[in-house]
Amino acid sequence: MKNKKIKIARIEKDMSQTDLAEAIGVTRQTIGLIEAGGYNPTLNLCIAICKTLGRTLDELFWIEEGE
Amino acid sequence: MKKQKDERIIAEINKIYKIGFMILTVGILIDLFLQFTGVHEDGDGIGFSFRLIEFGTFMLAQIVCAVLMARKGMMDDNKYAEAEVFPKKHYMGVSLIAGAATGIVFAIMLVISNPFVQTMQQKLLVGGSVSVFMFFLTATMIYAVYYIIFQVAKKRREKMYESDDEK
């Protein structure tokens, strides 16, 4: 399942996938795959993404029913 | 500070290593089973070669792991895994080391096993020329293979991400 929330938060923060990847210490492909729904990140990586983008886990990773 | 590694790359490479481990385990177990159940390499006329099983298992594990990793463009989990631009210096270094190792091993094997190479002068001449030839051949081939693998993997990734462009 695609994660549009991360993509939107990243764009709002004016960061490219490369910027976010470098800030967290992963490759750009990993960010691309998380956004595309091709990889489920560990909790540690989720937290790192949230901290970098200034959002909470709920805001970026919680999925409401029917979403 | 220790550099953080990409958890996804580590996870994907671990899956591939697991496959390699299983191939090696099964191959070695079959080899051991046959040896312990009395099938002898030279004594019983079966013509069975344990070396072939051992070598085949080794090569199978190496090739399967190399192909699976190459398909994803990951030759290791270091900072060059899935690089955007071909890391020339890194792969040049790897190719040169591999070429040098191959050249030395080939030269030693040839000098030791060839009955026509007797004197020290002959050994130096044959060993030297073989090692130089193998060095250039192997280094060039490995560099070319790395380059092709990198480009193929990059195209595969680009295709995968084309619907999710940056920004």
| Record: contact B7-A25, CB cut-off 8 A | no
Consecutive H or E run containing A14: none
ipTM: 0.72
Chain A residues within 8 A of B84 when measuring between CB atoms: 18, 28
**Maximum Cα–Cα distance for chain B, whole Å?**
70
- Contact call for A44 and B8, based on CB within 8 A: no
**Would you call B84 and A11 a contact, using CB atoms and an 8 Å cutoff?**
no
Is B165 a residue whose pLDDT tops 60?
Answer: no
The arithmetic mean of pLDDT across residues B4-13, rounded, is 80
Q: pLDDT tens, A21-57?
A: 889 988 888 898 898 888 889 999 999 999 999 999 9
What pLDDT, on the 0 to 100 scale, is given for residue B97? 95
Q: Do B6 and A26 touch (CB under 8 A)?
A: yes
This prediction's pTM: 0.62
Any A CB within 8 A of B3 CB: yes
Q: What was the pLDDT predicted at B96?
A: 95
Q: A49-53, B10-14, B77-81, B151-155: which has the minimum mean pLDDT? A: B77-81
> Nearest-CA distance from B65 to chain A in Å?
21
Q: How confident is the model over B102-112, as pLDDT tens digits?
A: 999 988 888 88
Q: Name the CA radius of gyration of chain A, rounded.
A: 11
Q: Is the pLDDT of residue B6 over 60?
A: yes
Better pLDDT: B37 or B102: B102
A30 vs B6, B84, B163: nearest CB: B6
Selected for mutation to probe chain B from A12, A27, A30 (highest B CB count within 10 Å) is: A27
Mean pLDDT score across all residues of chain A: 88
Tens digit of pLDDT for each residue in B58-114?
889 988 888 888 777 666 666 676 777 888 898 899 999 999 999 999 888 888 887
Q: Considering chain B, what is the average pLDDT of its residues? A: 81
